[in-house]
Amino acid sequence: MGFQHFSTCFLLALCILSQGLAKGAHGFACNWGTRLTHPLPPQITVKLMRDNGFRQVKLFEADPDALKALGNSGIQVMVGIPNDLLANLAASVDAAIAWVNQNVSSYISKNGVDIRYVAVGNEAFLKTYNGRFVNSTFPAIQNIQAALIKAGLGRQVKVTTPLNADVYQSDSGLPSGGNFRPDIHGQMMSIIKFLSQNGGPLTFNIYPFLSLDADPHFPKEFAFFDGSAAPVVDGSITYTNVFDANYDTLITALEKNGFGQMPVIIGEVGWPTDGTANANIKNAQRFNQGLIDRIVKRQGSPKRPTPPDIYLFGFLDEDAKSIEPGPFERHWGVFNFDGSIKYPLNLGGGKQLVAARGVRYLPKQWCVMSTQANVQDPTAFGDSMSKACTYADCTPLSPGGSCSGLDIRGNASYAFNMYFQTMNQRKEACNFNGLSVITNINPSPPQSACQFKIMIDLGKHEKKSTSPSDAPKIQLNLMVMLLSSFIFVMLLLYV
């Protein structure tokens, strides 16, 4: 009895302790985008998150492989619903019920996934969508909420909708002038009221990088947390960085409309490392280190001292993302596509970022422009470049990108190699009108951020023909399987 009592107490204490640890003084949160030609295996990705203290993750859709890997991982999950599903979910509560059953309930009950939020739509009110999703977002939120309640998940799983920071603005240019955009003000009020009644937070994406990249007159130092820009004085408050100023514009907008206590999540924030001049390792490290220091210190903004949960964008680079927003779009990862480290980050308490382990790569070979090839043949050359860069990621060659300093042969080689790697090093993928050749010598320029990649092995490259010694092994495995099924069936019959 005494011992049992003691062990219960002990277990309880352990539980409380581990809960405390899980909530952590500084657990990090990130976005896991899956637009990669060669995705890091989900199990390795989840391990990488855990190894680096990430405790929350946001997915843009209910990706089955990602969700399964997150099962019983101790990581809390926000599952997104893409905008193109909104109209359907808005029109029918049955569609919402089906979505929740397939994409939430089953992963919680069958796979042990700790789903905490459903993110309905993604930046649905973005100005560039010209109002396409404005009418379907709120009804879709209502139907997903109803479906969650019906599934018995109303308490456990909260609804939110990630919005771009362009849903609010300030006429005075100062945070104290903040309010929601007039064209969507009514929709915003309906959504905020509904979410607050159901205990759901608001989610906003804030991008100092985009402010800087879009405006040549933007004071660069104001984009960073440790910047030396002249501060912006707003009444009694002094702002030293655009993140706080932007966030407090939102907080003012909420206060002005009677929702000053509304919980807020930062759904995306980060800095890319390639594709344009401001997207480089130095700036990304500076910005993200400043952000992480705030998360570790639990520092809020001048108007709201309690910090929001902040989801870094993104976890890994995504070489298959649309580059409509700009060539930097494929380079938002804190890590490279393969989970290797781009730049060191101090995660607090003396902890440094650690890289992924157990990643399998394709052989160490590259496809480059042959020394005999003639760059003067414009058709063969142009066609080859455009073929390579249509199917593979050539954004490091963009002006200001990490490989923009290469000469014309160098950038052809870069493009050829990206195509060759993206096509899993298949021999016929290094054939550009006779301009290219496969080499074992790493063509990356020394002392440069420009890296000629080798992709992850997805098991799709040319294998050497199956060695004859494999055949008997396969037969033996088959025999064992048949035998065990036989024994199993006999046992069933016997019982």
Q: Where are the alpha helices (DSSP H) in 215-315?
A: 242-256, 281-297
Integer angstrom CA distances of residue 131 from 82, 83, 124, 171: 16, 12, 8, 22
Q: Which is nearer to ligand NAG, 99 or 224 (CB)?
A: 99
Q: Which is nearer to ligand NAG, 103 or 280 (CB)?
A: 103
To ligand NAG, the closest distance from the beta carbon of 190 in angstroms equals 12
Q: Which is nearer to ligand NAG, 390 or 465 (CB)?
A: 390
Tokens of 277: 């001049």
- Whether the Cβ atoms of residue 18 and residue 45 lie closer than 8 Å to each other: no
In this structure, the number of other CB atoms found within 10 A of the CB of residue 362 comes to: 18
To ligand NAG, the closest distance from the beta carbon of 71 in angstroms equals 16
> Is the preceding omega at residue 314 within 30 degrees of 0, hence cis?
yes
Amino acid at 347: L
Decide: helix, strand or coil at residue 362: coil
To ligand NAG, the closest distance from the beta carbon of 397 in angstroms equals 4
d(CA 168, CA 182): 9
> Can you count the helices (H) and strands (E) in the chain?
14, 15
To ligand NAG, the closest distance from the beta carbon of 111 in angstroms equals 14
Q: Which is nearer to ligand NAG, 409 or 461 (CB)?
A: 409
In 43-188, beta strands by DSSP E:
54-59, 76-81, 114-120, 158-160, 162-164, 168-170, 178-180
Amino acid at 146: A
To ligand NAG, the closest distance from the beta carbon of 43 in angstroms equals 20
In this structure, the number of other CB atoms found within 10 A of the CB of residue 125 comes to: 23
Q: Which is nearer to ligand NAG, 48 or 97 (CB)?
A: 97
To ligand NAG, the closest distance from the beta carbon of 328 in angstroms equals 15
Binding site for ligand NAG (CB under 6 A): 61-62, 82, 98-99, 102-103, 131-132, 135, 397, 407-408, 411
Decide: helix, strand or coil at residue 226: coil
> Which strands sit side by side in the sheet containing 54-59, from one edge to the other?
158-160, 114-120, 76-81, 54-59, 28-32, 309-312, 264-269, 202-205, 162-164
- What distance lies between CA 196 and its chain's CA centroid? 27
To ligand NAG, the closest distance from the beta carbon of 404 in angstroms equals 7
- What distance lies between CA 453 and its chain's CA centroid? 21
Q: Which is nearer to ligand NAG, 134 or 359 (CB)?
A: 134
Q: Which is nearer to ligand NAG, 85 or 210 (CB)?
A: 85
Identify the H or E element spanning 480. helix 470-494
To ligand NAG, the closest distance from the beta carbon of 18 in angstroms equals 32
Q: Where are the alpha helices (DSSP H) in 85-235?
A: 86-91, 93-100, 106-111, 134-150, 185-197, 208-214
Residues serving a catalytic function are 123, 268
Q: Which is nearer to ligand NAG, 61 or 221 (CB)?
A: 61
Q: Which is nearer to ligand NAG, 11 or 408 (CB)?
A: 408
d(CA 425, CA 461): 6
To ligand NAG, the closest distance from the beta carbon of 403 in angstroms equals 8
d(CA 154, CA 150): 8
d(CA 244, CA 254): 15
